[in-house]
Structure 1
Amino acid sequence: MNTLDTVQEGGCACGAVRFRVRAAPQRVGLCHCMTCRKIHGSAFGVYAVFERGDVEFSGHTSVWESSQTGRRHFCPVCGSVAFMDYLSSPEIDVPLGAFDRTGIYRPTYELWCRRREPWLTANGRTEYQEDRPQ
């Protein structure tokens, strides 16, 4: 990825929340946990994980405490997931579907595979039955 490709933009479905990333992600993965399944209304969520300082947001978000340490930020107008962060982490997880361009990042691992739909395959990605080791 060249320098021009590292700057990417995206936002929620209605456009009230926007973001810009200025670096390549630390990693990109699929998550099959029940929370991701339910908030995305899909069989999994896909996130690009960035250093907090590499992502800039505009617009107001509401926050749902999805766990003791996890916070999911979403647009209060359309309900789109804007990003996810953890209190003890310097990283932010941005859903791939929120980026304006497609095909910019490829997932390399999957979390919570014990919850994966049986008709999905890993397709060569690293699999974790639950969360990734720290």
Structure 2
Amino acid sequence: MGFLTDTTHMHIFTWVVAIVVFLVSASMAKGTKGKKITHMILRLFYILIIISGAALFFVHMSLDSMLYGIKFVLGLLTIGFMEMVLVRGNKGKNTGFMWILFVVFLLATLFVGFKLPLGFNFFA
């Protein structure tokens, strides 16, 4: 399982692909077959994000337990709001507030993730 925990490359790859697939799925017309397929692919990437994130969390949480825990919760909330945007959009409900919450939690997750000891130091 070293490929999951040695570096953050696998985890970053999965969430970047998930965000792209999410934006593609959100921009498709509701009720189409393509939207259903991209939504199912996105759900697969949710699982991959959680597995790679959990592996990093359990191996490296001794570096800064609180910050890793906060990032883990923020990541789960981001995934939850991604799913809520798509599901509410398919049901024809208003998604404006969910989009705002998704962006806020995504930015918070990225900020905390980059501040982690294993993350990239963009803010130095």
TM-score (norm. length: structure 1)? 0.20
Larger Rg: 2
- The two structures have a TM-score, normalised by structure 2, of 0.21
Flag the structure with higher helix content: 2
Q: Which structure features the higher share of strand residues?
A: 1
